[in-house]
Amino acid sequence: MQKSITSFFKPKDESQNSKYAEDARKKETKSASIEEKPKVPTPVKTIKEEGDENALPTVDSEEKMELEAPSPVKVRKMELNSGLPENEASEAYDPSVETYHPINDAYWKAQRTTPYLALARTFQVIEETKGRLKMIDTLSNFFCSVMLVSPEDLLPCVYLSINQLAPAYEGLELGVAETTLMKAICKATGRNLAHIKSQTQLTGDLGIVAEQSRVSQRMMFRPKPLNVRGVFAKLKEIANISGQAKITLVYDVFVACRHAEARFFIRSLIGKLRIGIAEQSLLTALAIALVKRNHINDCKAHKVCDIYKDEIADTTLILKTTYSQCPNYDIVIPALLKYDIKELQDRCPMHPGMPLRPMLAQPTKGVSEVLERFSGMQITCEWKYDGERAQIHLNKDGEISIFSRNSENNTPKYPDLIARSKSLVKGNVETYILDSEIVAWDIERKQILPFQILTTRKRKNVDIADIKVQVCVYIFDLLYFNGVSLVTKPLSERRKILMEHFQEVEGEWQFATALDTTDMDEVQQFLEESIKGNCEGLMVKTLDEEATYEIAKRSRNWLKLKKDYLSNVGDSLDLVVIGGYKGKGRRTGIYGGFLLACYDTENEEYQSICKIGTGFTDEDLRQHSEFLSAHVISSAKSYFRYDPSLEPDAWFEPVQVWEVKCADLSLSPIHRAAIGAVDPERGISLRFPRFIRIRDDKSPENATDANQVSLMYNSQDQVKNNQKSSDQMDMESDFY
Ligand code: ATP
């Protein structure tokens, strides 16, 4: 990976940060002369610039003047931190205050190394914050300080903020067992294991217990304060090591933890930071930090969010688009620091070996809805295969990788596909990214087998000789070919290139069966044929107009038409199990019912949507109870939204997604799904929910989104009819 990273960045004489600092100086000089302001030196720049790795950790004279120039910000800073010994300044660090100044308030500016405590304090403040905007703003203040004061730390700060050590697809996970951590805490604090265990039971948070236990810690001498870079490196070491050595490494860092550091260090190791910052919020915070950095000389740095709304929106869009085509902070963060934001997308291109988040489809309830949406457009209908989504990459070294819908690396699961990959291509094919569905295949009958058969295939250490379930790959898109991204080209063109350079091999590689038509009778007939062919229905896609491949987006240009479209709801929902109710009668001793939630991506919370007790076999219930018992937590997460009347017998970590069907969706006084979207006080709930299957290929954050729930609610016939009749009444009352 590292090899390909370097090739993306052409060497430049000056870093973007220096350029930005230079621009800031010029701009400031100009505006000072126009406004006839007194000449105050205004050399805002990152304190550490490229090329001065070996420079002493001091602030240059220009910077000193800037830092010492009297300003309202400076005055507040004096009140907040000035004169405090380093230790106290770090404890008082608070990037949420309204007048926060990214340089003046960065108490580590002289060292140019971000203290871990500054990051921990930021997390602590965010954890105590209620509103999402404020949380993002606080994080952006901290990031802005790091960009300006200690830019080399931005990458580890970003990773630590989302509790990752590397790009998600590399699968490097922390998730250290709680008992291992407890042992390290006991060793460091002298407390006994039983006490730590009982406190953790009580508070439901080993991080807090660790922080509180530190009070009792006895030490011969005080270890050196931790910094972000050091902690990040240690976490990587911990992830890669096992056994007693792991405990020793945890212990080494833990004994050096001060204040909230212990809480967040332990939470990082558990794998749950509990600050409610996920990818989208993090990217927004980074974008705001960039804009704050650009306007640091404004003196109103703290008002940036109000004054530069458009610039923030543009920067956020570029950053999010870039990250979706290049989901790797090892590439994006250095480029962000070095180049102008407008160059970012070109500097961080997609490339084979790095999974893209897939384009997703909107549900529909019938052919008439398809007609309504695509009227006058060229469309294609493809069979919708029921298997496992697979993004297949060939990189320039000839290596094939296969990624799941969740961007997990599934390559080890399919050695048979790798072995036969040469038969797929024709002519000169060097690199590609294909989008496809892998289905289980009956070799003798030459037909598709149900999804359930595919799930019986081994996931890891698969030996070709032992494979019992054969698979066929149905290819439906080409996103990248021979060094060129095709995502901005229309589907008709992508498909042409696909057909030209790839070939079908019966039962191994096939193109998705497709029909290009605008005749709705033909669509209907094709839908019926797809069902006879053991498919779930159709995917209807635009061919020419609005037909680009929209990475990571649930697009209106792909509609899914499932066989049970006649039902009122049109699609199943994928929901997260957050609570369990003890069973009665035959279900005594296991959970007999569950509390399910959808995920609200905007607020990053799980919102209760229904209780469920139907659709399970006895064996299902036994297995669910066994699995979920290992994920019981002592109280609801701060990011669960539910009515107290729904309090289950046990709360669960949000770890599993279930596919659920229902009769319809209705407004509910107790459930909180999509609250505020349709009704200001009521959420949406499912009527007669029925369990269908576990969705292993979806992470809880990929569960049905609150926004989708409200769309599904609104598209129900009776809701539409009610809306029509109330519109009608409005018109009538206007008329009279
Ligand atoms: P979603 O992916 O929309 O969140 P989901 O994972 O539950 O929902 P479905 O609703 O069943 O999946 O439909 C979309 C999925 O259908 C795709 O992610 C892909 O795996 C599969 N699929 C099968 N055939 C095709 C096709 N021809 N074009 C696109 N996707 C297809």
Domain annotation covers residue 311: no
pTM: 0.75
Task: Out of 238, 255, 270, pick the residue that ends a domain.
Answer: 270
Q: Which residues contact 117 (CB under 8 A, 6 or more apart)?
A: 90, 91, 93, 225, 226, 258, 259, 260, 261
| CATH of residue 437 | 3.30.470.30
**What's the total number of domains in the chain?**
3
Question: Which of 362, 365, 384 has most ligand 1 atoms within 8 Å of its beta carbon, as the pocket-test mutant?
Answer: 384
Q: What is the pLDDT of residue 12?
A: 34
On the 0-12 / 13-18 / 19+ scale of CB atoms within 10 A, 141 is buried
Distance 385 CA to ligand 1 centre (A): 8
Which run of H or E residues covers position 174? none
405 lines ligand 1 (CB under 6 A): yes
CATH number, domain containing residue 132:
1.10.3260.10
Question: Mean pLDDT for the chain?
Answer: 84
The confidence score (pLDDT) of residue 46 equals 41
Q: Find the 536 Cα to ligand 1 centroid distance in Å.
A: 9
Tell me, yes or no, whether 549 and 577 share the same domain.
Answer: no
pLDDT in tens, 517-537: 999 889 999 998 998 899 999
* Same-domain status, 529 and 587: no
Among residues 270, 304, 334, the one where a domain terminates is: 270
Which residue has its alpha carbon closest to ligand 1 atom 4?
360
Whether residue 194 lies inside any domain: the answer is yes
Which residue's CA lies nearest to atom 2 of ligand 1?
A: 360
Residue carrying structure tokens 């001793």: 589
pLDDT, residue 697, reads 87
Same domain, 38 and 101: yes
DSSP 8-state code for residue 359: P
Do 416 and 441 belong together in one domain?
A: yes
What integer pLDDT is reported at residue 51 of this predicted model?
Answer: 33
Would residue 550 count as lying in a domain? yes
Mean pLDDT of 674-696: 93
Instruction: Kindly state the average pLDDT of the residues 20-49.
Output: 36
Instruction: Specify the DSSP element, H or E, that contains 514.
Output: strand 514-516
Name the residue of 356, 360, 562, 705 to mutate for ligand 1: max ligand atoms within 8 A of Cβ.
360
Distance 384 CA to ligand 1 centre (A): 7
Regarding the beta carbon of 640 and ligand 1, being less than 6 Å apart is answered no
CATH number at residue 621: 2.40.50.140
* Structural contact between residues 515 and 526, judged by C-beta atoms closer than 8 angstroms: yes
Look at residue 216 and tell me if it is in a domain. Answer: yes
**18 close to 52: Cβ distance less than 8 angstroms:** no
Pocket test for ligand 1, best of 365, 381, 437, 709 (most atoms within 8 A of CB): 437
Take atom 7 of ligand 1 and give the residue whose Cα is closest: 574
Q: Considering the domain boundaries, does residue 314 fall inside one? A: no
Ligand 1 nearest-atom number relative to CA 360 = 3
Distance CA 407, CA 704 (A): 17
508 and 605 inside one domain: no
What is the pLDDT, as a whole number, of residue 386?
A: 93
Based on the domain organization, do 143 and 202 belong to the same domain? yes
The answer, yes or no, to whether residue 63 has pLDDT greater than 70, is no
- Ligand 1 lined by 476 (C-beta under 6 Å): yes
653 and 517 together in one domain:
no
148-172 in b/e form (b: 16+ CB < 10 A) is: bbbbbbbbbbbbbbbbbbbbbbeee
Q: Is residue 261 part of a domain?
A: yes
Cα torsion angle, 659, 700, 569, 680, sign: positive
pLDDT of residue 337: 97
Q: Which residue has the higher pLDDT, 216 or 695?
A: 695
Residues 483 and 376 in one domain: yes
Q: How far is the CA of 359 from the centre of ligand 1 (A)?
A: 9
Instruction: Between 731 and 221, name the one with better pLDDT.
Output: 221
Q: Are residues 126 and 18 in the same domain?
A: yes
Ligand 1 pocket, mutate which of 364, 383, 385 (most atoms under 8 A from CB): 385
| Pocket lining: 382 vs ligand 1, CB cutoff 6 Å | yes
Which has more confidence, 5 or 134? 134
Residue 678 lies in domain: 573-720
Q: Ligand 1 within 6 A of 360 CB?
A: yes
Whether ligand 1 lies within 6 angstroms of the CB of 549 is answered as no
Q: Is residue 83 part of a domain?
A: yes
- Are residues 630 and 500 part of one domain? no
State if residue 473 touches ligand 1 by the CB under 6 angstroms criterion: no
CA of 43 relative to ligand 1 center, distance in Å? 53
- What does the alpha-carbon distance between residue 304 and residue 288 come to, in Å, rounded to a whole number? 8
Residue where a domain stops, chosen among 517, 540, 562:
562
384 among known catalytic residues: yes
Residue nearest to atom 1 of ligand 1 (CA): 360
Both 616 and 509 in one domain: the answer is: no
Cβ–ligand 1 contact at 386 (below 6 Å): no
pLDDT class of 310 with cuts at 50, 70, 90: very high
Residue 705 resides in a domain: yes
CA dihedral 140, 144, 146, 152 (to 10 degrees): 100
Q: What is the pLDDT averaged over residues 637-646?
A: 88
Is the model's pLDDT at 331 over the cut of 90? yes
Q: Do residue 410 and residue 540 come from a single domain?
A: yes
* Ligand 1, atom 25: closest residue by C-alpha: 384
pLDDT tens, 366-391?
A: 888 898 899 999 999 999 999 999 99
CB of 552 shorter than 6 A to ligand 1? no
